[in-house]
Amino acid sequence: MPETFDIAISQLTTVRWDLEDDLECLREHGFSALAMWRPKLSDGGIRATRTALARAGVRCSSLQWAGGFTGGDGRTFRESLADAEDAVREASLVGAPVLVLHSGCRGGHTRSHAGRLLGEALESLAPLARCEGVVLAIKPMHPAAACTCSFLTDLVDTLELVESFDDSAIRIALDLWHFGSREDIQPLVHRLVPTVAIVEVADRTGPPTADVDRLPPGYGDLPLDELVSRLREAGYEGDFELDPVGEVVEHLGYAGTVAELGRIRDTWTGRRVIAGAGDKAGAMSGPPSLRQPHHLRGGAGSRRSQASSQAVSRG
């Protein structure tokens, strides 16, 4: 099992905070990695963001997102490709080793033609990504929650696509909210690990849909602690990005959510949890013990960056 256990917090969880708020809260709760969202990067600017990250001693685990190569969001293929090229450069400039890509929905295309568009985009982007030291991570999504983001709705199909490129610059963004059952992961774990660049982690109750919240680990029904351990045992050495979104986050507040995610991190990494006001004394036994009632740079040149129009999706 890898000695390091790297856990990041996603800016999607604290979507209304600015970068300084994010960094202050991460420092307070002992996190040293941040998964960045392009609209926030656009708001803050590349240079200021790099300076703030360096001053805080926080690294960027990934940048989200680029893609939409099938035209489902109204852009042409060339516009989406140009925006993705911008995003690769942005990721490199802020030190993000991974850029998450969404394929886009079928958008009226046949499945095979949508696949050809994605393949053409990846072939075009890969040389730039290698030059910039950035990995392109394709994100598959559960069919019930893919909405307009992706026609890649099968984990095995995505795995086969990435394997067919045999390119270290093309990998998978594995989201355990979408594919977090034992049946999804266990049969594929040893095949998945060499292809996965980033793991996104959120819990849920019931099957994924566009309306189901992304819960903090331990607040839902997924065996996340088991799956995280299984991935690490199989040799996964990348970041785990915690990104709950929805009513629980709103109930806890952003600071309370990050504090809760810090406690979850401590149980996963084996840190001793120091009891604070209102906490039970002693170390927590693991994510299941946290279960609660279920009531949480802009584009280059004159092009409008896709970052300016990205919306937060629970999926």
* Residue matched to tokens 């045999």: 166
Asked whether residue 96 is assigned to any structural domain, the reply reads yes
Asked whether residue 188 is assigned to any structural domain, the reply reads yes
Domain that holds residue 90: 7-309
What's the CA gap between 17 and 21, in Å, rounded? 6
Asked whether residue 91 is assigned to any structural domain, the reply reads yes
DSSP-derived letter for residue 10 is E
Asked whether residue 2 is assigned to any structural domain, the reply reads no
* Residue matched to tokens 């970041």: 239
Per-residue model confidence as pLDDT tens for the chain (315 residues): 776 789 999 999 999 999 999 999 999 999 999 999 999 999 999 999 999 999 999 999 999 999 999 998 889 999 999 999 999 999 999 999 999 999 999 877 888 999 999 999 999 999 999 999 999 999 999 999 987 789 999 999 999 999 999 999 999 999 999 999 889 898 999 999 999 999 999 999 999 988 889 999 999 999 999 999 999 999 999 999 999 999 999 999 999 999 999 999 999 988 643 333 333 323 333 333 333 333 222 333 333 344 434 555 556
Report yes or no: 223 and 182 within 8 Å, Cβ to Cβ: yes
DSSP-derived letter for residue 132 is H
Domain total for the chain? 1
Q: What pLDDT is recorded for position 233?
A: 95
Please name the helix (run of DSSP H) or strand (run of DSSP E) that holds residue 8, with its range, or none: strand 7-10
DSSP-derived letter for residue 151 is S
* CATH value at residue 149: 3.20.20.150
DSSP-derived letter for residue 282 is S
Asked whether residue 314 is assigned to any structural domain, the reply reads no
Q: What pLDDT is recorded for position 203?
A: 98
Q: Kindly report whether the global pTM for this prediction surpasses the value 0.85.
A: yes
Asked whether residue 1 is assigned to any structural domain, the reply reads no
Asked whether residue 190 is assigned to any structural domain, the reply reads yes
Residues contacting residue 116 through CB under 8 Å, at least 6 positions apart: none
Asked whether residue 305 is assigned to any structural domain, the reply reads yes
- Which tokens in the block code for residue 212? 């189901």
Which residue intervals of 133-253 are DSSP H helices? 155-165, 182-185, 189-192, 224-233, 247-252
